[in-house]
Amino acid sequence: MSETKPVPVIGLDNLIPPYETYKFFADGDEKRLRVDDARHGFNRKAGGAASPFDREAKDFRMVNAWWLADASTLVYDDPPRVRDEFLAAGFTRVEFTGSALENRLGKDDTQCFVASNDDLAVVAFRGTESGLRPTERAAGRPDFTHIFNDIVTDARFKLVLFDDADASKGRVHEGFKRALDDVWDELSSHLRELNDGRRAFWITGHSLGAALAVLAAAKCDSLPDFDMHGLYTYGNPLTGDKDFVSHLGGVLAKHGMGYFRFVNNRDIVTVVPPESFGFRHAGTLKFINSDGEIGDGVGPLKSVVNFAGGVLRRSFDVFGTINSLVARLIPEQLKDHVPTLYATHIWNAHLK
């Protein structure tokens, strides 16, 4: 029988990915789950009740949310482990797309993994890689400024056209757009190869990876006869303006699919860049409260957004850089951003 998972206590040893001890694609009792036949879902390798991934669903499924949360967490790891874990879960092919771009904060990698078998493909974007400095770990007194700055990729938050040829599609975060554009030719070529009329495609990511997943879903609309089934994101920063949100809504409607955006309690990344800069969220909100319960809509998030928005407006100077003192004062909000918390809460909600 499936068991709930204990919610991890977040400290310096498990705040920042990768997560070496986390059991990916595992039931609460740590039995591995795997793909036997994607048309009939994901099934456990040995004994007990299955927790199938619903390949055909285009509306919300909690079990799908959990599988994709695990995938979004896994892709923070080194490519060999990512490949091994996806293959152990029953995928038959794993392709890595990655390159580097330069921005004013330094060099960041844009990386994406596509795990597929004959019937299913999961496109999972890696989020920001930000580790605590060795001296911070040794002293037990971390400075979160560099982590927070890395999360937003480009602290200027400039809005640029999503499609240079069609302004009606709105504007998006320049840093996120550049990050996706850097790998789009290679990634889209692979997706065209896989798009043989049999596979259902699912797109996911956490943090920066969530923002890239949103932009990729909008760009995938240009691929011929692309069978896009679902978009699930975790800890997603605001990505575009209201016109882009409207455009994305049209893409989702065209494919008859939903976009489900998870926010864990006080996750600070989900309220940047501030709406006062012209940004808006898209998708159906799935809010995880402090008790791990998951509900639709704003609910208790409203007060968090209002508070965080006010703090952030006072925290950014005229150049768009984060005030380092404020960044040091938000470790609890950063803890709620940890992807293993998302995956654990969603698994437990699935069992309920």
Instruction: Pull the structure tokens for residue 186.
Output: 């290679």
- The answer to whether residues 120 and 55 touch, using CB atoms and an 8 Å cutoff, is yes
| pLDDT for res 249 | 97
- The answer to whether residues 70 and 80 touch, using CB atoms and an 8 Å cutoff, is no
Per-residue pLDDT of 125-161, as tens digits, reads: 998 765 655 555 566 666 565 555 555 554 557 899 9
| pLDDT for res 220 | 96
- pLDDT above 70 covers a percentage of the chain that reads 74
Single pTM value for the model = 0.86
Domain limits, the chain = 33-351
| pLDDT for res 47 | 40
Angle at 103 between CA 101 and CA 104, to 5 degrees: 160
CA 212/CA 217 separation, integer angstroms = 9
| pLDDT for res 16 | 83
In order, the DSSP letters of 76-99 are: TS-HHHHHHHHHHTT-SEEEEEEE
| pLDDT for res 256 | 96
CATH code: domain 33-351 is 3.40.50.1820
Q: Is the pLDDT of residue 302 over 70?
A: no
Per-residue pLDDT of 310-339, as tens digits, reads: 445 444 444 445 555 555 555 677 889 999
| pLDDT for res 48 | 41
Q: Per-residue confidence at 101, pLDDT binned at 50, 70, 90?
A: very low
